[in-house]
Chain A
C-alpha cells in the first residue's frame, strides 16, 4: 500500500480523499493555487504545495508543477478527484512516465470511453443498447441531415470528445439542423480543442440512471447498484438518489447486468460509472462511461456501506476486489442535494461573495461533504459547489424527511444557494412519489422568482429587532459593556425613562 498520496484537486472532493487516506494511514499531500492558501483542503493535508495562480489552467491543471510537487514530497500515487485532471488519459500517462500510480482507471480504459462514438461502437458490437444515432463523428451538414432523418427528430447533437453538457443542442427539425451543427461544432472546439460532433435521437421524457462499478486487474467486475440523477438544470445534476424509484427488481437486474457487461467489454479497471437513459416504455440505452470518481458517490456509499474512495486506492495498489457481488446488499435509501452558490430564483445564475455565517446540519443519517467555512470567498475561478448534503433513511420517505430536517438546520449567509429549490423539491408531490424525469426542474420550478412567504414575518421581525438593538447599543456604548444583552439594556433604559 502507498505511504503517501498527492491529491490533485481542491474543495470538498480533496477533503473527501484526504479523509480516506488518513483512515488508511496514508500521508496526504495537497496542492493549492494562490487563491486557496486558506482553503480547508490545504489545512487538512499533511503537506501542501503551491502550484500556481488562481486560474485553474495555471494551477490545478498545471501538470508540470503538480508532478514536481509529487516528486518533491515523495508521494507514490496521485488521486485526481473529479474534474480538473480526472478523465484526461494523457495525465494518467504522464503519471506513469513519472513513476507515479494514477488512482483511477488506466489511460487505455479512459481513452476507450473518452471518444464517445468509438465507445458507442464498442457497446453496440457487444449487444449493449445505445441511443439510436451515429457511431462515427459527423463530417458536415448533408451527413448530419441524413443521420437525423434516419433516427427521427428531435435529435440531440453532442461532442464526440467529451461530456458535461458542452456543445449539446436539441434540434426539432431539418431547417434548424445546419445552424445547430455549426454552432455545436464551434462550441465543442473551444471546449475540447476538436470540433467532432455526433447525433443521437433525443429521448424525452427520460430518466437518467447510472450504475456504480468497481473492477480489479484480475477480471472481476461488480456493481454497487444504481443512482438516479434526473433532477438537473443545464444538464448538471442537482439531486441524486439510490435506489432509483423508477426501477423494479427486474429492470434493476437488467440495467446493472448491462453495466457490468459494458465494463467487461471495455476492459475497465478501478471505479467507474455507466450512464443510461431510461425511456418511459422501460427501454434503456447506454449513454457513456464516466472514468472517474463521481460527485454523487456518497449516496451509493450510504446504501452499500462501501467506501468507494478507499476501494479506488486499494485497486490502484493492485489489490483484488475485496467484495463479491453477493456481498453487496444495499440497505435503505439515500438522497444527495448539491448546494451550489447559485440563485434558484434567478435561473440558477452564479452568486459570488463571502460566506459570512455558516452552520452545518448533523445528527442521525446526515452526511455533509464540504470544504466551506466562515470567511470563505466564492469566486469565479472554480466550481460553485459549496456542499453535498446527503441523508440516509431506512425508507425513501425517511431519507426525504431527514433531508428536510437537515436543510432546515443548514444556515448560510453571504451568497445565495440552491437550498430553496431543494426545500421545495423535498415537499413536492412529484418528487416525493418519485415520478420525475430530466425535465423536472424546468417543469416544476421554471421561472420561479418568489421566495417562500411563510417566514417573511419572522425575517421582518428579526431584522427590525437587530436594527433596533444596533440603535440602542450605539446610543450608549459605555452602559452596554455592563450588560449581557442589548435587550436587557434596552429594557432598563426604557424603565429609567419612565420613572
Chain B
C-alpha cells in the first residue's frame, strides 16, 4: 500500500509492505525501514520500533486527521491513499533512465559520511551518502548507475528535507 502523508509543510511518500517472513516494512521517501507498531493501551498509546529505534507515541484520529505526540512534540498528519490522490506521481517514473539524477536528502539530518567523489563511476545500489536522521544512520544508495558529476555535501553538514546531496549523470 502506498500513501502520501503530510506533516507540517512536508509531504512523505510511504509504502507499507510485508516481507516473506511476515515482517512489516515501511519505505519512507525510498528508504526502507523495518517496523513494529504496538498499541499499548488499546486506545491511543503506541510503541513504534523503526529498526531498533524506539518511539513512544500518542496517535489520535480526529475527523480523518491524525494527531501525533512524540518526544513531547505534537504534530498533525494527513494520510492520503496514493492510488486515489496522485495520478501524477504514477505518471512520472521514479527514476529517470538517462540524464541527470539529482540525489536529495529524504529527511532532514546530518551527513555522517560521503562514500563517493566527483568523477566516480557508480552502479545501482552503490552506497553514496550516510545520513544521520531520526537517530539512525540511513544509507542513501544509487538508484541508477552513472558518473557522479557533483558532490554538494560533506561530513558533518546539516541538510534539510529535499536538499541536494549529489548528482549522478
Q: Which of B5, B23, B44, B161 has a CB less than 8 Å from the CB of A463?
A: B5
Q: Which of A356, A417, A452, A465 has a CB less than 8 Å from the CB of B26?
A: A465
Number of A-B pairs, beta carbon distance below 8 Å: 171
Return the CB mask of A334-372 against B: 1 if under 8 Å, else 0: 000000000000000000000011010000000000000
CB nearest neighbor in B for A454 = B108
Residues of A within 8 A of B43 (CB): 357
Q: Contacts A462-B59, A464-B16, A465-B37: A456 and B74 contacting too (C-beta < 8 A)? A: no
Selecting from A321-329, A429-437, A484-492, the interface stretch reads: A484-492
Q: Contacts A413-B44, A466-B61: A460 and B1 contacting too (C-beta < 8 A)? A: no
Selecting from A40-48, A184-192, A404-412, the interface stretch reads: A404-412
What separation, in Å, do the CA atoms of A462 and B43 have in the docked complex? Answer: 14
Is A461 interfacial (CB-CB < 8 Å)?
yes
Return the CB mask of B47-65 against A: 1 if under 8 Å, else 0: 0101000011111111000
What separation, in Å, do the CA atoms of A492 and B18 have in the docked complex? Answer: 9
**A419: min CB distance to chain B, Å:** 6
Residues of A within 8 A of B59 (CB): 462-463, 466
What separation, in Å, do the CA atoms of A409 and B58 have in the docked complex? Answer: 12
Residues of A within 8 A of B62 (CB): 356
Return the CB mask of B10-42 against A: 1 if under 8 Å, else 0: 101010111010111010110001011111000
Q: Contacts A460-B14, A463-B5, A491-B18: A455 and B67 contacting too (C-beta < 8 A)? A: no
What separation, in Å, do the CA atoms of A462 and B56 have in the docked complex? Answer: 10
Residues of A within 8 A of B72 (CB): 407-411, 419, 423
Is A463 touching B66 in the complex (CB atoms < 8 A)? yes
Residues of A within 8 A of B74 (CB): 412-413, 416-417, 419-420
Within 54-103 of B, Cβ neighbours of A (below 8 Å) are at 55-62, 66-75, 77, 79
Interface centre among A359, A453, A461, A467 (most CB of B within 10 A): A461
Interface size class of A (residues with CB under 8 A): 35 or more
Residues of A within 8 A of B22 (CB): 488, 491-492, 494-495
Is B3 touching A413 in the complex (CB atoms < 8 A)? no
Is B7 touching A413 in the complex (CB atoms < 8 A)? no
What separation, in Å, do the CA atoms of A488 and B46 have in the docked complex? Answer: 15
Known A-B contacts: A463-B66, A465-B37, A498-B20. Give 5 more (CB < 8 A): A451-B8, A454-B134, A466-B59, A490-B18, A491-B18
6 A-B residue contacts at CB 8 Å? A408-B71, A455-B71, A457-B29, A462-B68, A465-B48, A498-B20
Chain A residues near B (Cβ < 8 Å): 356-357, 359, 407-414, 416-417, 419-420, 423, 450-471, 485-488, 490-492, 494-495, 498
Which A-B residue pairs are the 5 nearest by beta carbons? A463-B77, A463-B66, A494-B18, A459-B75, A491-B22
